[in-house]
Amino acid sequence: MRRRSLITAALAAPLASAGAVGALQSPAQAATWSSSAQWGQWTTGAYTLYNNIWGSGAGSQTIWANSQSNWGVWANHPNTGGIKSYPNVSYTLGRNVSSMGNVSSSHNTTVPSGSGLAYNQAYDVWGNGDDHEIMIWTKWTSNVGPLGSYVGSVYLGGRNWNYYQGSNGANPVYSFLAATQTTTSTVNITAHCQWLVNQGRMPNVRIDQIQFGWEITSSNGGYNFNCNSYSLTT
């Protein structure tokens, strides 16, 4: 598996300590697979689930899965700046943007609320290995933001997105933030990729990994993030 880029979202400022009561460190039902290992991973069919604790100063985190469609993570990361992890489900496409076809994804999630939380829920789409990074945010807390500068609003796949563009020092990062946040969504990934190419913002790269999960900066006290359903149409 490939480690995440060093920075792919604006680092949240350190938060005041909070005595949040954490959720239980286990799914409601016995899972087919679970792991607390930093780089824990499980492959089912064409999909791979990653625990992916990549940031410095991370706490503990356990990922569980019954399938690529039903999985979740319990995370207890301290209230400090910097992304700690990106637990995700990943699929490798291997097609150029111009010939990638109709690639779309639907998801339904349950995310926590409370003090001590900083995270975003996002698709992370990689081009030419890790040369280009396309992030599509559908839900996030108010204390995190995308890398780069705001460019403008764009209508793609039946909804409005706020587009930001920047670099993490290793690769360009193209970020689309949903104008209306949601935990139940269908995202036209092809529309985002082809818009970038048609606008001359990104070359006609090969789309490799398509990932979906949560970039977690802090979750002090322990919280559950659940993916109730997930599908990817290629």
Question: How is residue 137 written in tokens?
Answer: 């945010």
In degrees rounded to 5, what are phi and psi of residue 139?
A: -155, 140
Q: Which of the four pLDDT bands, split at 50, 70 and 90, describes residue 147?
A: very high
Q: What is the pLDDT of residues 19-78, one digit of tens each?
A: 233 344 455 456 999 999 999 999 999 999 999 999 999 999 999 999 999 999 999 999
- Output the pLDDT for position 30: 64
Q: Which domains does the chain have, with CATH numbers?
A: 34-233 (2.60.120.180)
The neighbouring-strand residues paired with 222 are: none
Q: Do residues 176 and 162 make contact, with C-beta atoms less than 8 angstroms apart?
A: yes
**Chain centre distance of CA 160:** 19
